[in-house]
Structure 1
């Protein structure tokens, strides 16, 4: 899929577009959208929502907040579809980007909450690093749900943001914290639209690195990052993805696309990447027949 030409070439109407895919998010949407309203950024902002076949009250909540946000000067663009099945996170993000107008893109998940300074601080960093994906530190909710993973997110050094791109956890700045220029997104993207089970953020991240992009993290906790059973990340955790690990002091992205395998069809430790949270594999060991599942493999290059 290519982004529509009018979305990438037209004059921007907002400085920053907040990109919000939504699917059955009624439980979290009020808090999420309140955090958009509470941003202290003084430039023009736009919220671009794409509703991916939600069957709950998400649509009504979005419409309610559209009025509040526009009354405060934040324009709101709403797209979506009501097909029987959702098209997936990659498709929804691409559609939200395509219908937006901002010069910069701030990605937000519908179950997360931004701190008031998020857009301002990441925008300032993006101006200084125009070909980088800008991330930030996070606060996990519940606080003790993924302690090791959260430490990894928040404590990587600037060098490790590049040297640890091939580890069990995936992108060294996590997708819900991404902020970048529209120009750079259009150069790298769009997201893969393979649907459930495809790590669209990981594939985009490697393509970003392949094209010479940088990675920068704002060292402030700017996002409340929720962990729950309905998170989209769990659909990716059911697979492992094989790839060729290159040799050398600094890793470069693999030349081929990632290949999904079933959870029990493990590859050798030298050629696999177990995506994101080892905690998931701990659960699988109690429910899956066959050989024990490796619980925690990091390929720290």
Structure 2
């Protein structure tokens, strides 16, 4: 049995796909399988994936939706996991790459910490020059929010993500147990593009312990054809303020948290009252920016995770 199932989804990403695949084959850790999920591509990506699967039938499989349909990122990742056989699952978008120590480092972490259901690290933003490969220009690291080496218990990551969505894990930077994926029900397929990763990570971090690693094991490519850049151009996403896609996500999150709060043993019940109140207000379309301002005001006084918890500790625990 293979240890890690590497899920690479792709749609019209033929000019990047070969490099992503090469970064999987370059892994120092060798017990892996590669699932290439075609989300209805009409470019060279389909031919590349089929050729790779034919050349490496013992390690690589090609998956597509019925009728070569385009169903979005969430449905494609779910299809990849459904076809997988590994104990652990890792995701790599077709325009990103892993560094050679990625799987070895993160498998060791989860082996050594059986209580951790997922590990992630600080992916590095990557701005490759035209024609460059992984020697292109590197940018800053994504922020972790907690000190590296911390095992964070649910739901402590959720207020952090709400305060700054850029601290949500990069999809390419995670490794999780297949049992954790199954437990939370996978990706939310109504999110085809923007916030599809955040919906998944909120679900997981509301329920399960997560380990934050100090390693850097992946490069998060920045380019004008990415889902985020396209959403900005189409005015459905604003990385610096409110947007339609953010409102859709927050309404979904409010409904999801409300549902989880009905279970008395759910970790979501231990969210700070301010978080619960503001999320539940979403069901009545109340403004969300008041909580964002509260977090920013608290952020000027102490280390980030302590700032949030200290500011929110004023609120008495209530039963919702």
Please say whether Structure 1 and Structure 2 have the same fold, judged by a TM-score greater than 0.5. Answer: yes
The Cα of 1:218 is off from its aligned counterpart by: 2.4
Partner of 1:183: 179
- Unpaired runs of 5+ residues, structure 2, are 129-135, 238-242, 258-269, 294-303, 309-320
Structure 1 position 19 matched with structure 2 position 39: no
Please list the CA deviations of residues 47-98 of structure 1 after superposition, one character each: whole Å capped at 9, or x if unmatched. 011100001000111123234545xxx6112110375751100000000000
Structure 1 position 118 matched with structure 2 position 102: yes
Partner of 1:38: 26
Asked which structure has the greater CA Rg, the reply is 2
The structure in which a higher percent of residues are strand is 1
Partner of 1:166: 162
The structure in which a higher percent of residues are helix is 2
Partner of 2:261: none
Determine helix, strand or coil for the equivalent of 1:119.
Answer: helix
Instruction: Pick the aligned partner of 2:91 from 99, 107, 125.
Output: 107
Kindly report which structure 2 residues correspond to 1:68-107, keeping only aligned pairs within 5 A, or say none: 68-70=55-57, 75-81=59-65, 83=67, 86-107=70-91
Alpha-carbon contact 1:240-1:272 (below 8 Å) kept:
no
Give the 3 Å change call, closer, same or farther, for CA 16–167 of structure 1 in structure 2: same
TM-score, scaled to structure 2:
0.67
CA distance in 1, matches of 2:112, 2:120: 13
Structure 1 position 136 matched with structure 2 position 156: no
Structure 1 position 222 matched with structure 2 position 217: yes
* Matched residues, number: 253
Alpha-carbon contact 2:88-2:178 (below 8 Å) kept:
yes
Give the 3 Å change call, closer, same or farther, for CA 247–220 of structure 1 in structure 2: closer
CA distance in 1, matches of 2:67, 2:271: 46
Structure 1 position 65 matched with structure 2 position 52: yes
Alpha-carbon contact 2:65-2:71 (below 8 Å) kept:
no
TM-score, scaled to structure 1:
0.71
Q: Whose RCO is larger (CA < 8 A, sep 6+)?
A: 1
RMSD: 3.7
Partner of 1:8: none
- Unpaired runs of 5+ residues, structure 1, are 1-12, 274-297
